[in-house]
Amino acid sequence: MGPSFVSDTGKAMLKEPLDFYDLDAFLSSDRSPENCMQLADLDGFLTAVAVGPEPIPMEEWWPMIWGGEDPQFRNAKEAKQITGSIQTRYDEIVSGLERDPPLVTPVFWMEDGEPIASDWAEGFLDGIKLRLAEWSRLIASDDNAILIPLAIFWLDDDEQPIIHVDDDVREQIEADGPELIPETVVAIHRYWRSHSERSRPLMRLH
Q: Alpha helix locations (H) across 38-166?
A: 39-51, 58-65, 76-98, 118-129, 132-139, 148-151
pLDDT at residue number 14: 32
Residue 166 domain-assigned (yes or no): yes
| Strand pairing class (5-8; 107-111) | antiparallel
Residue 127 domain-assigned (yes or no): yes
Residue 181 domain-assigned (yes or no): yes
pLDDT at residue number 203: 47
DSSP letter for 155, please: B
Using DSSP, how many helices (H) and how many strands (E) does the chain show?
8, 4
Radius of gyration of the chain from Cα atoms? 17
Residue 120 domain-assigned (yes or no): yes
Residue 202 domain-assigned (yes or no): no
> Any idea what the CATH number is for the domain that residue 74 is in?
1.20.120.740
pTM: 0.86
* H-helix or E-strand spanning residue 127: helix 118-129
Domain range for 147 is 5-195
CA distance 2 to 140: 42
The ranges of the chain with pLDDT < 70 are 1-19, 197-206
pLDDT at residue number 112: 86
Residue 93 domain-assigned (yes or no): yes
pLDDT at residue number 12: 28
What total of structural domains would you count in the chain? 1
Residue 205 domain-assigned (yes or no): no
Residue 125 domain-assigned (yes or no): yes
pLDDT at residue number 9: 35
pLDDT at residue number 22: 87
